[in-house]
Amino acid sequence: MKVVRFGVDKMAEQKKSWEERLAGEPDELTIDFVESLSIDKRLYKYDIVGSIAHAQMLAQQKLISKDEFKRIKDGLIEISQKISEGKFKFDKKLEDIHMVIEAALAAKIGEAGEKLHTGRSRNDQVATDIRLWMRDEIEILQAKITLLQKQFVKLASRYVEDVMPGYTHLQRAQPITVAVYLLGFVEQLERDFIRLANCRSAGSGLNISPLGSGAIAGSTLPLDRKSTAKQLGFFDISYNSIDAVGDRDFCAEFIFDCALIATHLSGLAEDWIIYSSCEFGFVRIDDSFCTSSSMMPQKRNPDVLELIRGKAGGVYGSLMAMLTILKALPSGYNRDMQEDKVHVFAASDTVSQSLDIVRAVVAHTKFDTKKISAGLEEGFLDATALAEYLVGKGVAFRKAHGIVGLLVAYCEKEGKKLAELGLDEFKKYSPAIEPDVYERLGAANVVSKYVTDGAAGPKQAKEQIAYWNGQLAQR
């Protein structure tokens, strides 16, 4: 058989699989508008893996010969290698990665390559490819989440005893350790990790195989769908061919998971943008993750963090776009679904890149504990602890709350802190207050008295660090 250089000459002669049905050539505007190759070519490995599994099943069912299967498999592996080496020419006239690979295979091995699409439609093919890609992508994102978690734990271990203000409503609330503040982000990321795991889990909509559902109704050929599902590592097959080709729930779920990761990273970015300002001065972000001003030479702008915050909006946009694409679609496959990959890939790429850069920022950020300590006693951070002190003396909490509120108002009027009041001044507001009250006042004293599990004190910080070191070491 004459060997033809695939990927260029022969492919240029190929027609689209549906082109015999229509008269004339597609308009150039149509070619450009309907092609998805520019987006879905990144699925080539998964398209080839799925095609090999499908071909093996066809051989098992005697729909192709063993020799044809071998030639198909060898040809697909060579095509994959050519693509990975950048030696393959993509032709957008063939619309998508599925038709490009099939055309290249037929150009290389002849009629055997034309048998590959037996019992298969691009509808069930792409639904399989995106699932295979997403399973791998989830593992990559989970690995990046774990690395970021480890970086937070490492940073937290440096600040176990250091105290900072905790904020609610962006107002000073109660004293916390820097370590526990940082470990809060580890908790957020853990929820992200678990959500992704659930998205990928055995019983999820993602981990079932639609391959063999065909265009919408299955096939009159004796396909063994469970064989291809097993080869491709799916938990099960889909059991309704109409829904199988139209299901993109898993895409919306995946983008939602990405959106929450972006939310958490954006929250961190917001904190550190504020904390790195002169007004706070809590953190120092390394120069390598800042920029300066084209006009103001003194500026150190946390642009990386601002972009993390801004890029979250793009991920939200991908989620809304995905949901809008799916809204009120008729049953079965519709070409609208071609747009799913635009938004799935965009959301995943943004989150993947954001996780990388945030991990680098965290690794090179320091807390200015001297600056934090200098103003730590501002804002009556010990007020809640004083109320709880009164509870310990038998005062009802609501009454204790009111007493401390009056004491704070008195301190503001006198320009004093709670710890600076004399015992006689305390007694005017509550006879229950004794000399031991001073052991409960001041930010450092307060954090040392936290006793509840998961609280923001040094003891709990050590416990949380030990816990996370153990958990993350198992991944």
Residue 228 lies in a domain: no
Amino acid 24: pLDDT: 65
- The pairs formed by 61-67 with CB atoms below 8 angstroms and a separation of 24 or more are 61/221, 61/222, 61/223, 61/224, 63/115, 63/118, 63/119, 63/221, 63/222, 64/112, 64/115, 64/118
Note whether 79 and 196 are same-domain residues. no
Residue 328 lies in a domain: yes
Note whether 25 and 62 are same-domain residues. yes
181-211, pLDDT tens digit by residue? Answer: 999 999 999 999 999 999 999 989 999 999 9
H-run or E-run covering 109: helix 97-109
The domain boundary, picked from 374, 391, 407, lies at 374
Q: Identify the domain containing residue 446 by its residue range.
A: 383-473
Residue 312 lies in a domain: yes
CA-based nearest residue to 70, from 128, 109, 125:
109
DSSP string, 317-366: HHHHHHHHHHTTPPSS--GGGGGHHHHHHHHHHHHHHHHHHHHHHHHTEE
| Count of domains for the chain | 3
Amino acid 458: pLDDT: 98
Note whether 299 and 426 are same-domain residues. no
Q: Could you list the active site residues? A: 169, 293
The CATH number covering residue 461 comes to: 1.10.40.30
Note whether 208 and 74 are same-domain residues. no
Amino acid 223: pLDDT: 98
CA-based nearest residue to 257, from 197, 202, 201:
197
Q: What angle do CA 24, 26, 27 make, to 5 degrees?
A: 115
Amino acid 6: pLDDT: 43
Amino acid 21: pLDDT: 61
* pTM reported for the whole predicted model: 0.92
90-145, pLDDT tens digit by residue? Answer: 999 999 999 999 999 999 999 999 999 999 999 999 999 999 999 999 999 999 99
H-run or E-run covering 177: strand 171-177
The CATH number covering residue 81 comes to: 1.10.275.10
Note whether 259 and 307 are same-domain residues. yes
The CATH number covering residue 148 comes to: 1.20.200.10
Note whether 114 and 128 are same-domain residues. no
Residue 226 lies in a domain: no
* Calpha distance 438→433 (Å, rounded): 10
Note whether 107 and 137 are same-domain residues. no
* Calpha distance 212→278 (Å, rounded): 62
Amino acid 144: pLDDT: 98
Low-confidence ranges of the chain (pLDDT < 70): 1-24
Q: What is the dihedral of CA 257, 261, 264, 270, to 10 degrees?
A: -130
Residue 229 lies in a domain: no
Q: In the block, which residue shows the tokens 């198909």? A: 72
Note whether 414 and 341 are same-domain residues. no
Amino acid 26: pLDDT: 75
Residue 232 lies in a domain: no
Q: Determine the length of the chain.
A: 475
Residue 221 lies in a domain: no
The domain boundary, picked from 90, 118, 146, lies at 118
Amino acid 19: pLDDT: 59
The domain boundary, picked from 55, 89, 118, lies at 118
* Calpha distance 107→97 (Å, rounded): 15
Note whether 70 and 154 are same-domain residues. no
